[in-house]
Amino acid sequence: MDDETDERPPTRHLSEDECWQRIADAQYGRIAATAAGQIDIFPINHAVDGRTIVFRTSAGTKLLELTIHGSVAFEVDGASETDAFSVVVKGVAAEFDRQGEVAEAERLGITPWAPEPKDRWVRITPTEVHGRAFERPRSAGSAG
């Protein structure tokens, strides 16, 4: 480590409202689920519905893991040239298929990126929401 003092402000904890705004603005997130002692991480495109996260999926590993063990973590992050952030949501994921709920979810405009049909709907209900943001170091070539 060099002897220069890092003069950036300390890492800032995001308010819950800031966290939800970052989640809503993110193009995609990652969901971590576990089954049979194994942890898997899946990229998902999603939408915010109130204070929950909704996404579409298909039958397969992700949905099976969520059915076996609904406790999940969801994460979004981002960075610009000047700052970076990370938001983590811990909660319970559950598939839903009631016609009214699905109709409401379809209004959120979630369009799957992958070409396979994504006809199953999942909602993450948070138990914890935490986020942080910080300024990135200025590059050595930038003027001071």
The tens digit of pLDDT for each residue in 40-68 reads 999 999 999 999 999 999 888 788 888 88
- Report the pLDDT averaged over residues 13-28: 96
pLDDT category at 10 given cuts 50, 70, 90 is confident
118: three-class secondary structure by DSSP? coil
Helices (H), the chain: 16-25, 61-68, 99-106
Residue identified by tokens 């981002």 is 78
**Strands 29-35 and 120-135, sheet pairing:** unpaired
**pLDDT for the residue numbered 1:** 47
19 has a pLDDT exceeding 70: yes
How big, in percent rounded to 5, are the helix, strand and coil portions of the chain?
20, 45, 35
pLDDT tens profile 72-110: 999 999 999 999 999 999 999 999 989 999 999 999 999
Per-domain residue ranges for the chain? 12-131
Say yes or no: domain 12-131 is CATH 3.20.20.140. Answer: no
